[in-house]
Amino acid sequence: MTAKERVILPPDPNPHPLKFKLPPLACDTHFHIYGPPHRFPFVDERRYTPPAAPIEHYWSLARHLGLGRGVLVHPAVHGADNWATLDALRRSEGRLRGMVRASTALEDSDLRSLHEAGVRGVRFALVEDGGAEFDSKAFDIVVNRVAKLGWPVCLHVDGHQIAALANHLRKAPVNIVFDHFGRVDARQGVDGADFKTLLDLMGEKNMWCKISGVDRLTQRGARPEDAPPLARALVARAPDRIVWGLDWPHSNVFEHGKMANDGDLVNALLNLVPDEAARDKVLVDNPAKLFDFS
């Protein structure tokens, strides 16, 4: 099977009933859209072929769940072509912000145009299964450019990579956001070495973390009950710098595993952040500040 023949499952179209009501302007800070490919083709060098997941499908889900805002993370299958993301931002009437792939090819004028379109950040994908490596020179070039616009920089890294990056990240003149709990090994719990490194780093005022992709943790061997202690420790450490996301349409699930249900992922917030006031911060106040919603 070639990489492009690795076809992933579509998201579950039937969210389970919610056990609580999301606050007004609740924000999903991490989701993707795919295509539709007849309008926005996938790149040939993609590692997998996703099902079409256009912005219309996401809006239907968001309305059902009560999500008022979202942050669209540009997916790898569209490569450096941002048109699918920009089209969705243009039609969102301010309800969406976007994040694009970090690239030294994006000059100041490009970044200003993206800012006007609703983009509010760049993302480095450095996970080992993605084949990318940390390039400190390229990182600094990108960071110094986006700092002029006040954008955050998201990092998709494996948990064991955080320690080697920590000193460099502390010096960054931007907010740094770790995706998906920093992809630590949740099976090790709050005393795991990688999580301790992440928690220590979260003491810095420019460090943020997404408690997103809970289903990713379980796909990697963790139990559902392993995630809440991590989330609660992160919220206790940095209550003003934690955000949340669904990671729809769950492209981490390929030919194996069980597709996450988005109703269950929202309900999981009751255990991840049991205090209602803290949960409202995670869902509304924190993302509004980080991603410049007004």
**Which one is predicted more confidently, 20 or 213?**
20
Question: Does the pLDDT of residue 288 top 90, yes or no?
Answer: yes
Whole-model pTM: value is 0.94
Question: Cα 157 vs. chain centroid, distance in angstroms?
Answer: 11
| pLDDT at residue 131, as a whole number | 57
Segment 247-272 mean pLDDT: 84
Which of 254 and 21 is assigned the larger pLDDT? 21
- Output the pLDDT for position 244: 98
Find out whether 219 and 258 touch, Cβ atoms under 8 Å.
Answer: no
Banded pLDDT at 257 (limits 50, 70, 90): low
Q: Is the pLDDT of residue 129 over 90?
A: no
Residue 6 has a pLDDT of 62
Q: Tell me the C-alpha distance between 201 and 86, whole Å.
A: 33
- Residue 256 structural domain: 3-290
Angle CA(128)–CA(253)–CA(67) in degrees, nearest 5?
Answer: 105
Return the pLDDT at 50. 81
Q: What is the mean pLDDT of residues 208-235?
A: 91
Residue-wise pLDDT tens digits, 56-100: 999 999 999 999 999 999 998 888 889 999 999 999 999 999 999
Cis before 13? omega within 30: no
Which listed residue (12, 179, 247, 262) is catalytic?
Answer: 247
Locate 195 and state its tokens: 């999580």
In 86-231, where do the E strands start and end?
Answer: 96-101, 119-125, 153-156, 176-178, 207-210
Active site residue 158: no
For residue 272, pLDDT over 50 is answered with yes
DSSP string for residues in 16-49:
PPPSSPPPTT-EEEEE--B--TTTSPPPTT-S-B
> Above 50 in pLDDT, residue 113?
yes
The CATH number covering residue 23 comes to: 3.20.20.140
pLDDT at 46: 83
Average pLDDT, the chain: 92
Give the pLDDT confidence score for residue 255 in this predicted structure: 42
Least confident of 23-32, 75-84, 229-238: 75-84
Using DSSP, state whether 175 is helix, strand or coil.
Answer: coil
Query: In this predicted structure, what is the pLDDT of residue 45?
Result: 82
Number of domains within the chain: 1
